[in-house]
Amino acid sequence: MRRRIADIALTLLVIVVQTTLGRYLAIAGLPPDLALIWTVTLALRRGQMIGTVAGFCTGLVLDLLSGGDGMLGLSALALTCGGFMAGYFYNENKTLQTLGSYRYILIILSVALVHNLIYFIIFLQGSGVHWWQAILLYGVPAALYTAAAGLLPMFIYARRLLL
């Protein structure tokens, strides 16, 4: 129970940091997707079910906070898929090994790419912008930056693994 409460509190903290301080971490207008990193981390620590639900809840809150642009549910959809995908890499006996190694970064990168792909394909429906252009211009750099931001938790978990 305490673990669940801690997870929920941390999820809220990540959302607050993402929405308030995300812009200070942005490079060329692209902030790292802390919500995605947290969703992947939860999926790897707690399993596919928790990862999927956490992705949905986090995405939904982010959608609500993003203003009235007519796309409520989009971040929730993309993050739900992200959490579900990351859950495939869950191994109860090797949680720390996964989180403390380069595999964690590769998982974040692949989940971020899929997340951005889903996001752009839906978001750009009916607009003049090609989704593959958006993926190349924003999706790939944003995914790379998000993966790079994942290095910090990876080092923390790697250190915990050594102790």
Query: In the complex, which residues of this chain contact another protein (CB under 8 A)?
Result: 16, 19-24, 26, 29-31, 48-49, 52-53, 56, 60-77, 80-81, 84, 87, 116, 119-120, 122-124, 127-129, 133-134, 137-139, 142
Smallest distance, Å, CB 55 to another protein? 8
Smallest distance, Å, CB 159 to another protein? 29
Smallest distance, Å, CB 138 to another protein? 5
Which of 60, 144 has the CB closer to another protein?
Answer: 60
Rounded to 5 degrees, φ, ψ at 27 are -115, 125
